Chain A
Amino acid sequence: GAGVSQSPSNKVTEKGKDVELRCDPISGHTALYWYRQRLGQGLEFLIYFQGNSAPDKSGLPSDRFSAERTGESVSTLTIQRTQQEDSAVYLCASSPGRSLGEAFFGQGTRLTVV
């Protein structure tokens, strides 16, 4: 596609339920990032994938959070047993080869835990 696509755009879930957020990166982009943006806050790094290397999971806030990516394609971010503090916009970005460095962002998934 032309840009980074995230789905769903909005998700309302009950506390304690599991949710899956999806990200389709720009074709050919080797790096993929997930960030969390709470209301009125900056971007909090969660995880990034680079090609077939082991992902950098250093930003995941708890073991309820996990993410997968198959090769250089789609990624899913899973939050288990959601809590109200998980409410935020989850942003995905992808980046091409090393020399360019720029990350392109999707529109985000707004998650509301009630």
Chain B
Amino acid sequence: AQSVTQLDSQVPVFEEAPVELRCNYSSSVSVYLFWYVQYPNQGLQLLLKYLSGSTLVKGINGFEAEFNKSQTSFHLRKPSVHISDTAEYFCAVRPGAGSYQLTFGKGTKLSVIP
């Protein structure tokens, strides 16, 4: 079985400040990792993904995440946030082989304060 933990349910941050949204996962097999973003009243869209290779992955809108296998983490970062980044962010994990089960964390609501 696999699981995803997003410890912070809400993160307020001032505009132009850096932000880190934490994600830890649990799995007995190798994994694919994803961050999705859900803007208010919209569907989910992919922000970035880790499948293999470089542990630092870059996504859209200036976000990046680093896969740390020893700490089973995939934290999302942005050096300077904008008002438009206000949204809910979901971390997800999928086995790298076999099952297609895609498991999501409970989400982190990022609020950017002007």
Contact = CB atoms under 8 A, between A and B. Distances in A.
B95 to A, nearest CB: 9
Given A42-B107, A45-B102, A45-B104, A101 B90 contact: no
Nearest to A41: B106
Interface stretch (A18-26, A72-80, A104-112): A104-112
Contacts of A103: 34, 46, 92, 102
Contacts of A98: 97
A101 B32 contact: yes
Given A31-B100, A56-B101, A103-B102, A42 B34 contact: no
B100 A48 contact: yes
Nearest to A99: B51
B100 A91 contact: no
Interface residues of B, number: 24
Contacts of A50: 100
Nearest to A48: B100
Interface in A41-72: 41-43, 45, 48, 50, 56
A58 to B, nearest CB: 8
Contacts of A106: 43
Given A42-B106, A43-B90, A101-B32, A107 B43 contact: yes
Given A33-B102, A91-B44, 18 more contacts: A33-B100, A41-B106, A42-B105, A43-B44, A43-B104, A48-B102, A50-B100, A95-B100, A95-B102, A101-B32, A101-B96, A102-B34, A102-B46, A102-B49, A103-B92, A104-B46, A105-B45, A107-B43
23 contacts: A31-B100, A33-B100, A35-B104, A41-B107, A42-B90, A42-B106, A43-B90, A45-B101, A45-B102, A45-B103, A48-B100, A48-B102, A56-B100, A99-B51, A101-B94, A102-B34, A102-B46, A103-B46, A103-B92, A103-B102, A104-B46, A105-B45, A108-B43
Interface of B: 32, 34, 36, 42-46, 49, 51, 90, 92, 94, 96-97, 99-107
